[in-house]
Amino acid sequence: MTAPQTLDRTLLALADPTRRAILQRLSSGEARVTEVAQPFSMSLNAISKHILVLERAKLVKRRKVGREHFLSYRSEPLDTAAKWMDDTRAFWGSRLDALERLLREEDENTK
């Protein structure tokens, strides 16, 4: 049983292009904060905050070695969110389809 806010945090974290770009970078392997921040035109501090949001959503794990913080991508929240989306989509979709079929049948009957 996943906490109710877990999905909220995951989706919120993903709803930002900078954070998605950070994750993409990390998907090819660990990197330090400075390395992650390097390609962006915003301040290191701004990136540090984005990383916090990703950590809160458990999409990023931090491993400290001396003064360096190594960040890595965790796939689990995205797996969970994808599952939620597929399940939900199937459920909502099928209900709508059923309704549409019903309406079309009624329409047939009134011809």
Considering only 34, 72, 88, 94, the residue that binds DNA (CB under 7 A) is 34
Q: What is the per-residue binding string for DNA in 55-84, x denoting contact by CB under 7 A? A: -------x--xxxxx---------------
Comparison of 44 and 96: residue with beta carbon closer to a second copy? 96
| The residue to which tokens 């939900």 are assigned | 88
Closest C-alpha to 85, from 25, 26, 7, 9: 7
The window from 42-50, 75-83, 85-93, 94-102 that contacts DNA (CB under 7 A) reads 42-50
Q: What CA–CA distance (Å, rounded) separates 14 from 36?
A: 17
Q: What is the per-residue binding string for a second copy in 76-95, x denoting contact by CB under 8 A? A: --xx-xx--xx-xx-xxx-x
- Give yes or no for a contact between 76 and 40, defined as CB atoms under 8 angstroms apart: no
The SS3 of residue 70 is strand
